[in-house]
Structure 1
Amino acid sequence: MNKTKNTAEAILDTAQSIVQDVGFNGFSYAHIAEKVGIRTASIHYHFPNKEDLGEALISRYYRHFISAIAQIDTETHNNLEKLRKFTLLYGGPVQDYCTCLGVMFSTDLATLSGMTREGLAQLFTTNLEWLERVLDQGRSEGHLNFEGSAVVQALQFLASLQGAQLLARTFRDISRFDMIAEGLVSALT
């Protein structure tokens, strides 16, 4: 990997970490430059403005999410287990008392560029479509049991995980996320 690629990735890694902690409007390029150990001009070289950085962040996050759910689909055939693994995706940021990038971007929605908002909508749509498919298949195969439509169940599942992240962060108590995530999965058996 070349130095330019390494620098761009380091910038994105650092920016993502900061956004997941303080939100998109809670930092400047100077904060990233200090953490990465570069000048702000180097950040502007890769991401001319903050909107470009936001678009790159959500695009990369989306690609990683697609890869993660593809891995779940490949490794796991039981839909209940797929949902358990999905909750682990949302549990990752909680370990550092942060939330996922999507949740934090949502709090700054009004100030995001149109492309970043579209990327965020695409991320949530993909989450919901995957959840709906897994829920439908799980009910058809007898692994899952719930009333109503899979669409509504998917919305409730995703909203609950996102809320669980916020509660765990607010109370600085990872067990709150774990209790909610396990309750969501258990309620489907």
Structure 2
Amino acid sequence: MEIRPASNFDDMRTLVGPRRPDANVCWCLSYRIPSKQNLALRGPERGEFVRDLCGRKTAPGVLAYDGDDVVGWAAVAPRTDTTFARNRKIPHLDDQPVWSLWCVRVRPGFRKRGVVAPLIAGAVDFARDHGAPAIEAYPVDNGDERVNLTMAYVGTRKMFEQAGFEKAGDTTSVIDGFPRIIMRRSL
């Protein structure tokens, strides 16, 4: 498994883009940009916004590759550059300039093949390489209960514990009936 910065738009489209270019799918923008801007971007505009993100000096996250196949995506950025900067349900723990890791997606057909662990490790390395003192994730605390695949993008407590994160706080955010928690890893 190779992890690379998400600077290839075609590979990003494969992981987070719609089947139809005019569809209004997330494109992993809902936590990256303000809600008003997110709602205003329609159809192909969403993809063009992501194309611009892929062309910036700091990529919008990391992609996992199994040989030539792009198989996973992780969104990671400074918390101050995301909607988590103002999120009332997921509080700030302190004044550290932490990075947020809020979306982990494995491409259908490649799930249950060991993509998640190197993908999270790659996101951690990406944040560290860009000067982050710590990285946070906001997964569900689901115990051993199954998480709806549509909402699984936030990850689970167990997934992040296995990647060296520790529970750092509670939130009032809930996804799919499960509470979200703040997991943090010092870098």
Normalising by structure 1, we get a TM-score of 0.29
Give the number of the structure with larger relative contact order, counting CA–CA contacts within 8 Å between residues 6 or more apart.
1
Bigger proportion of residues as helix: 1
Bigger proportion of residues as strand: 2
Normalising by structure 2, we get a TM-score of 0.29
